[in-house]
Amino acid sequence: MTLAADQRSFMPALRRFRRSHEFWLLVVVIVFCLGLGLATDSFLTLQNLFDLLTSNAFVGILAAGLLVVLVAGGIDISFTATASVAQYVALSLALSYGLGWFAIFAIAGAVGVVCGLINAIFITKLRISSIIVSIATLNIFYGLLIFFSGGKYITSLPKYFRDGVWWFEYDDAAGVPYALNLQILVLAIVFLCTWLLLNRTNVGRQIYAMGGNKDAAQRLGFQVFRLNCLVYGYLGLIAGVASLVQAQLAQSVTPTVLVGKELDVLAAVVLGGASLAGGVGTVLGTILGVALLAILQNGLVLVGVSSYWSQLFVGLIILVAVSITAWSERRRRQSKAIN
């Protein structure tokens, strides 16, 4: 579906885009933005958009990783536990041994990859459904982390880490500074890498093919185990990187704060059009899915709705979106059957 065919001309591609899930999502996001821009003075300000991007970077980064697993036809909900473990290990070691940027990202990424590979091995070798494996590993990783760390916070992070990244500073008329911070930088890199992986590499095509029909992919000679190691390892890597982004924003490490967010990330990816059956999903859709939920929650607060109610609206949006998608899918199939 999303295998972008060679673009002989611009118009057919545009026409195809107009029928896609992403197009309607984009329309909804733009309508939301315009509506909020008209209804409030504060939504379409650089300040608000900057904060919105920074505070949702963690969910966005994880969403990109989860997208790859969903496209491959699997599911993984252990990534929040993976992130907690990676964060804790990397920053504890950084404090003990005075490590720098490169080392902490390498350690967090490595811990994430190991956790991801554990998932991949269990899923492929034991042939249990990926949802069961990842529920089990979520509990194992998280349980062991809390057991060994005692649930203690780390608040005194290294100075360079607390300062983060602050490139290309720009001050607006009121003197408020903006810059490219760690959150936005990593978010952009991760989305770019995921797009390249899925759309511009041979492996990316194989991931779509395996998600579309695993048995056929296996008969064609695809190495299902290797592909699984790649996708779950990739999500693990992303979870490790995302965990540092979150720790930098929170300015502390709390082992208990990340677990429980896995279904929020799943909701964002699914809103973006990825299918749990595999083989379907795009990076653009995922970006829009994350954006829609972020803008919705931000907008409700700006309009003056108490933040206690925001979850109700998020639930409604998810339910309506998945219903519309399923309904239109069903009608398309029926009209095809008639013709």
Give residues in contact with other proteins (CB under 8 A): 73-75, 77, 122-133, 135-144, 146-147, 151, 211, 213-215, 224, 228, 260, 263, 266-267, 270, 276-278, 306, 308-316, 318-319, 322-323, 325-327, 329-330
Give dist(CA 51, CA 37) in Å, integer.
16
Closer to other proteins by Cβ: residue 52 or 146: 146
> Nearest distance from residue 319's CB to other proteins, in Å?
3
| The amino acid at 1 | M
Q: H or E element: which one contains 179?
A: strand 177-181
> Nearest distance from residue 115's CB to other proteins, in Å?
13
Closer to other proteins by Cβ: residue 243 or 297: 297
Burial (CB < 10 A; 0-12, 13-18, 19+), residue 207, is buried
> Nearest distance from residue 127's CB to other proteins, in Å?
5
| Helix-helix angle 182-199:283-303, to 10 degrees | 150
> Nearest distance from residue 156's CB to other proteins, in Å?
24
Q: Sign of the CA dihedral 224, 127, 61, 306?
A: positive
> Nearest distance from residue 19's CB to other proteins, in Å?
19
Closer to other proteins by Cβ: residue 132 or 196: 132
Closer to other proteins by Cβ: residue 160 or 309: 309
Closer to other proteins by Cβ: residue 22 or 262: 262
> Nearest distance from residue 323's CB to other proteins, in Å?
5
Core vs surface per residue 94-128: b (16+ CB within 10 A) or e: beeeebeeeebbebbbbbbbbbbbbbbebbbeeee
Give dist(CA 298, CA 306) in Å, integer.
11
DSSP state of 96: H
> Nearest distance from residue 336's CB to other proteins, in Å?
15
149-to-90, 104, 108, 157, 205 alpha-carbon distances in Å:
13, 18, 16, 16, 41
Rg over CA atoms, the chain: 21
Closer to other proteins by Cβ: residue 248 or 275: 275
**Helix (H/G/I), strand (E/B), else coil: 140:** helix
Give dist(CA 247, CA 106) in Å, integer.
15
Closer to other proteins by Cβ: residue 46 or 216: 216
Closer to other proteins by Cβ: residue 104 or 138: 138
> Nearest distance from residue 74's CB to other proteins, in Å?
5
Core vs surface per residue 266-282: b (16+ CB within 10 A) or e: bbbbbbbbbbeebbbbb
Mind giving me the DSSP string for 241-280? HHHHHHHHHHTSB-TTSSTT-HHHHHHHHHHTT--TTSS-
